[in-house]
Amino acid sequence: MMTLVAKGLSVSARLAGQTVTVLRDLDFAIEPGKILGLVGESGAGKSMIGRVLARSLPSGFVVSGGSLAFSAADGKVRDLVAMDGADLARLLGDRIAFIPQEPLTALNPLLTVRAQFDEHLARLGVPAGDRIARMIDALTQVRLSAPQSLVERYPFQLSGGMCQRVLIAMAFASNPALVVADEPTTALDVSTQATIVQIMRGLQRDHATAMLFITHDLRLAARVCDEIAVLYAGEVVERGPARIISQDPQHPYTRALQAANPPLRGPLTRLVTLPDQMPGLSALASLQGCRFAPRCPTRDASCETASPELRLVAPGHWVCCAPACSGSRPAVPPITRRSAEASGSEPILVVDTVAKHYPGKRDWMGRRGQGVDAVKAASLSVRPGEFVGIVGESGSGKSTLAKLIMGLEAPTAGRILIDGHDVTAPSSATRSIRLGTLQMVFQDPQSALNPRRPVERLVTQTMEAARSGASDAERLARATALLAETGLPPELINRYPAQLSGGQKQRVNIARALCVTPRLLVADEIVSGLDVSVQAQILNLLLDLRTERGIGLVFISHDLAVVRYLCTRMLVMHQGVVVEEGETDAIFARPQHPYTRALLAAAPPDELDSPWPPAPVQETLDATA
């Protein structure tokens, strides 16, 4: 008996007068005690399925066909699409539970954990006397220590990981038949992610719950799920056992996803990227034939007219691709990482034991509250053409360090030197030294690009500031050159940020930093908001910039695989302190500091045979969290 069976599920939306099929003919099934992973990049429609279940589709979106047969322990089969709204409401939260993406926003900040959990249990019909015991029991199951005192706390007093554990405990409190987890670990740090996944899997196995695990991360899904369905532009392009989908995918898109992920171990090859990006809702309407065809490396003429059907290629393994498709893998280009290093030359940037202390706010008596030491003691040096990675989890002080380097904040101790000039204190003189040497690429292009400037005036912003006053013709010429260099089509020159895709915005962001031909870029988490395939494009662009311009890079990231792909040297930061520094390969091979070891162990490895997350490491992480 399957817990959830989707048959021909379709969702359509009315968009500017025409009907767009957002989800097309989805078929999947989940058995009790199994986890089905829905994997796809943003815009694939993976979150739409959770919304269909909860009947919270955005207005204008309707289920245009198909059924969702749900059967709970009582053996009755109900169609979640057709059934009465009130009946469905009784199922939701009880037989069907949800684990949200943002644990902090999912809990009411004005109520204690106890009040919220109590309300949930009351709804489930647990008698008032039993509720606190049930609560403590549930919180113990998610391995929260001292649950008696924890229930009296407010959500904002807990970390993101703790909030997510509370929500998992609440989801499993009713012993549901189905749990829908929508990106449950995306907002969390790597080490927390490992714990959460372990807890979720444990509870799901113990209760024999069926689970729908929605994620963008194929590597994580391979670890967590029994079966995986890969979504592209609202269609299941490939479905099968997790092991096969992650190790030997057949669909060209799944292969591209796999190839776009930089590996954590083994030899490095240049990432293979797909052109462009997934079509948006408005583009779907005019798309004929296979929705993946425009980006497919192995397409032929027939792909652009005929839509393929899911077909069985092996027991339990379906692929939605033309039968004629040979599926030949593109030849992997040779290793291009770590080109010639300008070793021995003088460093461009030297950061000498800088610290940043943020004083606490004064109270009404004028007394200072306790401040925060964002960076305690950090040193680094970067030579021309060198890529240095800074790795750390949220709160490790890595973004503050970037601001100190850029002179956006003044350090409270230590020195910063550029080409031997002291630029520690921000002033107009140090600003002009920085301007020609150092530029920053910001994390969130949404916030870093003024929405009121067209691309041309964004990328040449520095020329507007220069006293010399460049002419409009000069600016246009420079902007054209910068677009070409960052791989942007020239017709974007008059567009505004709102008209660009995420990857294009990040390229504009990089182009702006390159305008003054800096010798060193500081990049703060510039790929963390991007889809894997777009991330790979940006990473390759950075590598090309080094080859062509000999540019240096300080690359701040939480993602170890990305740092390994790009950087020759890396620093590991933990609570404002650089705990380890060295050659990337050496650190990956022989991590010295326990925190580095924990961090490396927490990232899901590529080989499915190595156990993850390893139990002993777990304890160290709990201690540091």
Partner 1 sequence: MRLSPRAKAAWRRCLTNPRVVTGGVIIGLMAVVAVLAPWLAPHDPQEQDLLATLLPPMWLAGGEARFPFGTDTLGRCIASRLMYGARIALYVAVVAATGAMILGTLLAIVAAYFGGWVDWLISRAIEVWMAFPPVVLALILLVGMGAGVNKVILAIIVIDWTRFCRVIRSEALVVMVRDYIAAAKLAGFSHRQIMLKEMLPAVLPLVITMMSIEMGIAVIVEAIMSFVGLSVEPDVPAWGVMIADARQTMHQAPWGVVLPVGAIFLAVLAFNLLGDGLRRALDTRLVLGRAEAA
Q: Contacts with partner 1 in 158-187 (CB under 8 A)?
A: none
Choose between 250 and 439: whose C-beta lies nearer to partner 1.
439
Choose between 301 and 465: whose C-beta lies nearer to partner 1.
465
Residue 32 φ/ψ, nearest 5 degrees? -60, 140
Choose between 180 and 438: whose C-beta lies nearer to partner 1.
438
What's the number of CA atoms in the CB half-sphere (13 Å) around residue 406?
A: 19
Min separation Cβ 454 and partner 1, Å: 7
Choose between 71 and 399: whose C-beta lies nearer to partner 1.
399
Q: Contacts with partner 1 in 553-592 (CB under 8 A)?
A: none
Q: In what order do the strands lie in the sheet with 387-391?
A: 421-422, 413-418, 349-358, 372-382, 577-583, 569-574, 387-391, 552-557, 520-524, 438-441
Tell me the sheet residues that pair with 63: 11
Stretch that binds partner 1, among 93-101, 111-119, 121-129, 439-447 (CB under 8 A): 439-447
458: left (phi over 0), alpha (psi -120 to 50) or beta: alpha
With vertex at residue 251, the alpha carbon angle to CA 248 and CA 253, rounded to the nearest 5 degrees, is 105
Which of 57, 92, 106, 435 is close enough to bind partner 1 by CB under 8 A?
Answer: 435
Going along 188-296, which residue ranges are E strands?
210-215, 227-232, 235-241
Choose between 509 and 537: whose C-beta lies nearer to partner 1.
509
Cα of 235 vs its chain's centroid, Å: 21
Coil/strand/helix, residue 221: helix
Choose between 105 and 339: whose C-beta lies nearer to partner 1.
105
Which of 23, 229, 440, 556 is close enough to bind partner 1 by CB under 8 A?
Answer: 440
Q: Contacts with partner 1 in 305-334 (CB under 8 A)?
A: none
Min separation Cβ 557 and partner 1, Å: 17
The answer to whether the beta carbons of residues 216 and 42 sit under 8 Å apart is: yes
What's the number of CA atoms in the CB half-sphere (13 Å) around residue 381?
A: 13
Min separation Cβ 8 and partner 1, Å: 27
Tell me the sheet residues that pair with 111: none
Measured CA distances, 200 to 73, 166, 209, 420, 544 (Å): 20, 11, 10, 52, 41
Choose between 48 and 321: whose C-beta lies nearer to partner 1.
48
Min separation Cβ 453 and partner 1, Å: 8
Min separation Cβ 486 and partner 1, Å: 16
Q: Contacts with partner 1 in 46-85 (CB under 8 A)?
A: 58-60
Q: State the binding string over 444-483 for partner 1 (x if CB under 8 A, else -).
A: x--xxxxxx-x------xx-xxx-----------------
Stretch that binds partner 1, among 181-189, 340-348, 380-388, 432-440 (CB under 8 A): 432-440
Structure tokens at 589: 């091979």
Min separation Cβ 99 and partner 1, Å: 23
Choose between 440 and 482: whose C-beta lies nearer to partner 1.
440
Structure tokens at 400: 């503050």
Q: Is the dihedral of CA 413, 417, 421, 427 positive or negative?
A: negative
Report d(CA 463, CA 467) in Å as an integer. 8
Q: State the binding string over 377-406 for partner 1 (x if CB under 8 A, else -).
A: -----------------------------x
Stretch that binds partner 1, among 313-321, 341-349, 427-435, 558-566 (CB under 8 A): 427-435
Residue 528 φ/ψ, nearest 5 degrees? -70, -25
Which of 431, 484, 590, 610 is close enough to bind partner 1 by CB under 8 A?
Answer: 431
Choose between 327 and 454: whose C-beta lies nearer to partner 1.
454
Nearest residue to 228 (alpha-carbon basis) of 312, 317, 296, 310: 317
Min separation Cβ 452 and partner 1, Å: 5
Which of 145, 343, 345, 432 is close enough to bind partner 1 by CB under 8 A?
Answer: 432
Coil/strand/helix, residue 545: helix
Tell me the sheet residues that pair with 26: 9
Which of 394, 499, 547, 610 is close enough to bind partner 1 by CB under 8 A?
Answer: 499
Choose between 74 and 363: whose C-beta lies nearer to partner 1.
363
Min separation Cβ 372 and partner 1, Å: 17
Nearest residue to 407 (alpha-carbon basis) of 373, 439, 362: 439
Report d(CA 517, CA 519) in Å as an integer. 7
Report d(CA 614, CA 468) in Å as an integer. 60
How many residues touch partner 1 under the rule CB under 8 A: the total is: 30
Q: In what order do the strands lie in the sheet with 77-79?
A: 18-30, 4-15, 61-71, 77-79
Site for partner 1, rule CB under 8 A: 58-60, 406, 408, 431-432, 434-435, 439-440, 442-444, 447-452, 454, 461-462, 464-466, 496, 498-499, 512
